[in-house]
Amino acid sequence: MVAFGLGIEKYSVLRANRAIERCDVALLLIDASEGLAAQDTHIAGTIHEMGKGVIVVVNKWDLAQEQRRAERAGTFPHPDEEIASAEAYSKIIAEGLKFIPYAPIVFASAKTNYHVKSILETAVKIG
């Protein structure tokens, strides 16, 4: 079963590399509920080495906010707290992706369409 998992990982890296080669602007998708993974950093390095434009998209931002609310036992944070949370998360992402400090970070939710339009607008500006 382990060999099968490694095969999937290798295949996904090959597909990512091919997609990066074809693109003008890459969207590096980070799962907000999981944080920056080693594979995300590896893909970001490939994007950087190929000289492609990049946008770091922190997806599932709605889920991350729900998790924060649950941690606070059901109390709802003030909108300023969500901004502070995004700023703190941005610092964590920037620390892990030091080699692409030029990459904008967009917090989004594919499920709720939160900031989906701004991803496309940002890509047009970069491309």
Q: What residues pair up with 29 in beta bridges, in sequence order?
A: 57
The 10s digit of each residue's pLDDT in 41-84 is 999 999 999 999 999 999 998 887 666 656 555 565 565 666 66
The 10s digit of each residue's pLDDT in 75-94 is 655 656 666 688 888 999 99
Sign of CA dihedral 64, 68, 71, 74: negative
Q: How far apart are CA 87 and CA 11, in angstroms?
A: 34
Sheet holding 105-107, edge to edge: 25-31, 53-59, 105-107
